[in-house]
Amino acid sequence: MYNIVLSLHSYWAYLVLIVLIIAAVNAVIKTIGDKEYENNDFRISLFTLIVSHIQLTIGLILYFVSPRLALWGQLGGKVMSNSIARLYLVEHPFVNIIAIALITIGYSKHKKKLTSKNKLKTIAIFYSIALVLFLSRIPWSTWIG
């Protein structure tokens, strides 16, 4: 089961990154270009919210079925001094949960804005910060290698 969930989590991450990049870049370009907020912008931001929440669900399942979880018992407080264990057990989940929370907050806040500029600016800020956070905590050596 672990390998199936791990593969699903890894491949779904490509979709999340692609959609998040599209949503963030779209919002930034439209904000800078002083463009109007359209139905397609709403769909892109909603789809980003949905795929990121699915990724969170898959990630939480993975966390609790992962053999790495046993490192908490083996290393105890020394998890923080082991860079690999810290990445997988603390940094990656914690930072990515924050990133998904930012996507959720940005999506919720943008719906309450009344002007196109404010809607797009909100999406641009929150989704871009989330993208940077995601990119900072991907275990690149195992994900691409």
Model confidence pLDDT, tens digit, residues 31-79: 999 999 999 999 999 999 999 999 999 999 999 998 888 877 787 778 8
Domain boundaries, the chain: 2-143
Q: Rounded CA gap, 129 and 145, in Å?
A: 26
Q: What is the pTM of this model?
A: 0.91
Q: Rounded CA gap, 132 and 139, in Å?
A: 14
Residue 108 in tokens: 């919720």
pLDDT 10s digits, 114-139: 998 999 999 999 999 999 999 999 88
Q: Is 103 exposed, middle or buried (0-12, 13-18, 19+ CB in 10 A)?
A: buried
Q: Rounded CA gap, 1 and 11, in Å?
A: 16
Q: Rounded CA gap, 68 and 59, in Å?
A: 13
